[in-house]
Structure 1
Amino acid sequence: MATVSNHWRVFGASVTGKAHLDKDIPCQDAHAHAVVNGVLVAIVCDGAGSARYSEHGAQFVAAHAVQALAGRLEQGATVQDLQDGALAGTLAQIRAALDDIASAANATLDDYASTVVGVVMGKDSGFFFHLGDGLGVAQLGDGGELISLPANGEYANETYFISGERWREQLRLLAIPQAVRGVVLMSDGCMPFAMSKNNASLYAPFMDAVQGYLRTVDSVESGNAALASTLADPRTHQITGDDKTLLLALRT
């Protein structure tokens, strides 16, 4: 039986979509990750297009949630501890800190609205955590995929945000009960070309090429640069005008 490595190589890029380039609006996506004792913590956030400071909200939530969860792991928390309640407690603290920032800026929490799709993955098990749209895929050792799907509201263009009053009931956890070869997180801007029809699986012609290339690069920096230029390719503009974030964590 093959042993699962406890080491990760993590690549990520957030690029501005055509709709924002045309209006000179900054990218409202963000991503962050950390690895603590072989446990991967990674997050992708997508700021609401309608919210004034959503790029700051996305950046703050991604960076600080990863930092806080990594801190808990460093202090001895297990993956199961996080899944059993520490994750929700951490997000509550991040949300409260964001509320303080909003107050200081004479703004509201809704001005910093952002979705969250994240993963905590240990050697043999882990879980996705998800608020709103975006998507997560765990590539299982047996070749299968476990997918954390986007959640939209009653209308197609509506979704849920960490700033929402009912965020706790909209927070979804999905257990990953076995070892994985890799984990992919993405904002909804990547889904049209990174996922197959109906989000049933990763779109192999695109994702196999990307992952195959990333497995060969000398450095994470060069991999990140290649990933960013792939996502920024003008050919994607025909598919989506949205900002695009893709984070790939590969077992080495």
Structure 2
Amino acid sequence: MKKIRRLTSRQQPRPTWRTRQRARNTAPAPLPPLANWQGCAATLVGSRHLKQQPPQPCQDAALVVAGPRPLILVADGAGSAALSHHGSQALVYGLRRLLETLGDDYAAALDAPLPPSAHLLQKLALRPVKHGMGLLQDLAASLHHDTAMLRSTLIVAIGGRSRWLWIRVGDGALVIEQAGQLQLIGAAGKGEYANQTCFIDEQLQPQDVQFGVFDSAGLSGVAAMSDGAAERLVQLQSDAVASRLGEFMQQARAGQLGTLQLHQFFADAGVWQRTTGDDRALAVLASA
């Protein structure tokens, strides 16, 4: 049997100039640094709900995770579902836990220089929606109610070094500030009373879930809101975004935006004249 000669480290052939150059050219590009995001979220019950007997609680929920791994979650419980305020709260807090637990999976796709494949992107987008459905089913079972009583819309935005993943079920609005310009992300949602809004419930189909990515380069602000807040912050038909949203992002960037400022905006009667009186939810994040 022929002996195999094993080279020691000293006997290994020295790499040539061409080998070193090839290794240099194929080395992965360094990842961009993680930005530090700041912001907050707030909700307020709408006057329409307070006029009912008995008054309805706020059916919107909103949450932000600041820092180098930013996350935005907004859920708007269906007005026709009596327990949807429980459903929206369960979604934002339960999905925060899920996405933080699976943070490495999302970081691998959102930090890498090259975008994820369409298949992987769909998998990452549908995973929280499927988990959210499970959260509502478990909650409904514990309350001895049908899942439809808890149904809610959902907006999620997950940040990474190279790109953000966004997910939306139903109405509301997602806005980004990039290169100093405010722009809407995704198609305009429809109102519940037009019977065209999708909810996280047992009727939801994968094709009803909107999702995509946007670049982190030049990104300085991200905001998500329920349709009640969008009445004064976004013109869905014209894709126009109110400058007030840019002001909130600037305040967040300076570390000066808190729930008090958002509540004062929500409670300003002059701002909300001739609106539907719906609940309002807004989550804002910004970075330098």
Q: TM-score range by the shorter chain?
A: 0.7 to 0.9
Counting only pairs closer than 5 Å after superposition, residues 44-193 of structure 1 correspond to structure 2 as 44-74=74-104, 77-80=107-110, 83-141=121-179, 143=181, 145-152=183-190, 156-179=194-217, 180-193=219-232
Structure 1 residue 83 displacement after superposition = 3.2
Task: Note if 1:33 corresponds to 2:64.
Answer: yes
RMSD: 2.6
1:227 corresponding residue in structure 2: 262
Task: Note if 1:240 corresponds to 2:276.
Answer: yes
Task: Note if 1:13 corresponds to 2:42.
Answer: yes
State the Cα deviation string for residues 185-216 of structure 1 (Å, max 9, x = none): 01000112101462513111x22333344444
1:21/1:237 CA distance change after superposition, 3 Å: farther
Count of residue pairs the alignment pairs up: 245
Between the aligned partners of 2:63 and 2:236, the Cα distance in structure 1 is 28
Between the aligned partners of 1:240 and 1:246, the Cα distance in structure 2 is 17
Between the aligned partners of 2:239 and 2:37, the Cα distance in structure 1 is 25
Quick one: which amino acid aligns to residue 198 of structure 1?
Q
Mapped contact 2:151–2:199 kept (Cα < 8 A): yes
Structure 2: which 5+ residue stretches go unaligned? 1-31, 111-115
Structure 1 residue 130 displacement after superposition = 0.4
Between the aligned partners of 2:192 and 2:128, the Cα distance in structure 1 is 28
Quick one: which amino acid aligns to residue 200 of structure 1?
D
2:9 corresponding residue in structure 1: none
Q: Normalization by structure 1: what TM-score?
A: 0.86
Give the secondary-structure state (helix, strand or coil) at the position aligned to 1:64.
helix
Give the secondary-structure state (helix, strand or coil) at the position aligned to 1:190.
helix
Between the aligned partners of 1:35 and 1:216, the Cα distance in structure 2 is 13
Structure 1: which 5+ residue stretches go unaligned? none
Counting only pairs closer than 5 Å after superposition, residues 199-238 of structure 1 correspond to structure 2 as 199-204=238-243, 206-218=244-256, 223-235=258-270, 236-238=272-274
Q: Normalization by structure 2: what TM-score?
A: 0.76
Structure ID, larger Rg: 2
Structure holding more strand per residue: 1
> 2:234 pairs with 178, 195, 198, which one?
195
Between the aligned partners of 1:4 and 1:75, the Cα distance in structure 2 is 18
Quick one: which amino acid aligns to residue 134 of structure 1?
G
Mapped contact 1:127–1:174 kept (Cα < 8 A): yes
